[in-house]
Amino acid sequence: MTHWVTVLAFFALLVSGAEIVISHPRFYLGEVGNVNTKPLFTIPIASSRATVPTGYGYVMPDQNGWSRSLHFEAAWVVLFAGLVYVLWGVWRHHFRRNLLPEPGERIWPAACKVMAKYLHRAPPDEAEEHSYNVLQRIAYLKVIFILFPLVIWTGLAMSPSFTSAVPESVILLGGRQTARTLHLLVTVLLVLFLVVHVTMIVLGGFWKRTRAMITGRAARREDA
C-alpha cells in the first residue's frame, strides 16, 4: 500500500515540481538567487514569468499557484507513507532480512553478474523471483535511506516557516538556493532510479512482478 501511495504522490510531485521550475528555471548556490544573480546553471526552457531572462521571446502559462499547493500536499503524503514503510520494515525486520548484504557477500561481482543477465535478457531464476537481487538491494537502500531523506530535507529547507523554527536545516546545506539546487539534482536521481526500476520489472516479467506487488504474493513456476 505504501508503494502505490508513494507512486501516486511522486507523480504529483513531478508534475507540480516541473511547473514550479518553469516559473524560474535558474539555479544558484548560497542563500540568495534572483535575476540579478549569476546562476550556477540554467535549464534551457522558457519561463512562465516575463521578468526571468531565459533567451526566449515568449513566456509559458503561469501555473505556479496550484502547483505549489499540490507539491506541498503530495510531499506530506510521501513523508507519512515513507514513515509507515520504514517503521513496518524495522518491525518486521524487512531491511535486515531482504535488503542488507549477506555476511561475506561479494557485492560488485554479484552486481555485474546480474547486470549481464539483464543485458542478455535472460529470465530470472526462481530464487530471484522471490527475492531482491543485489542490484535491487543496493538501489533500494540508497533510495530509502539516502535519496528520499535528502529530497525531504532539501524541500523543508526551502520553507521559510520551517527554517525559522529549525534554522540549522538550511545552514547545514549552505543556504536556501543551495537547497533548491540539491533538491532538483536529487529529484533527477530519483527519476533515473524510476526508469531503471521499471525497465528491470519489464525485463523480469512486467505482469508477474506487478501482480506480486498488488497481491503481496509471487506465484511459483508451477502456478504461473
Q: What percent of the chain has pLDDT over 90?
A: 58
* Whether residue 103 sits in one domain with residue 54: no
Per-residue confidence (pLDDT) for residue 28, from 0 to 100: 97
Higher-confidence residue: 5 or 211? Answer: 5
Per-residue confidence (pLDDT) for residue 222, from 0 to 100: 47
- Domain assignment present for residue 82? The answer is no
Distance (Å, whole) CA 66 – CA 63: 6
**Which three three-digit cell numbers place residue 51?**
521578468
* Whether residue 182 sits in one domain with residue 97: yes
Q: Domain of residue 146: give its range.
A: 93-224
- Domain assignment present for residue 78? The answer is no
* Whether residue 136 sits in one domain with residue 189: yes
- Specify the pairing of strand 26-27 against strand 41-42: antiparallel
What residue has cell string 540539491?
Answer: 182
* Whether residue 204 sits in one domain with residue 107: yes
Amino acid at residue number 157: A
Per-residue confidence (pLDDT) for residue 138, from 0 to 100: 83
Q: For the chain, how many structural domains are there in total?
A: 2
**Which three three-digit cell numbers place residue 55?**
533567451
DSSP conformation letters of the chain: -HHHHHHHHHHHHHHHHHHHHHH--EE-SSS--STTS--SEE-SS--SSTTS--S-SS-----HHHHHHHHHHHHHHHHHHHHHHHHHHHHTTHIIIIISPPTT--HHHHHHHHHHHHHTTPPPPHHHHTS--HHHHHHHHHIIIIIHHHHHHHHHTT-HHHHHH-THHHHTTTSHHHHHHHHHHHHHHHHHHHHHHHHHHHHHHHHHHHHHHHHS-PPPTTT-
* Whether residue 137 sits in one domain with residue 54: no
* pLDDT one-digit tens code per residue, 170-198: 999 999 999 999 999 999 999 999 998 88
* pLDDT one-digit tens code per residue, 17-74: 999 999 999 999 999 999 999 999 999 999 999 899 888 888 999 998 999 999 999 9
Residue 2: closest CA among 72, 80, 76: 80
Per-residue confidence (pLDDT) for residue 57, from 0 to 100: 85
Residue 127: closest CA among 142, 112, 114: 114
* Confidence (pTM): 0.85
Distance (Å, whole) CA 82 – CA 9: 11
Count other C-beta atoms under 10 Å from residue 32's C-beta.
Answer: 11
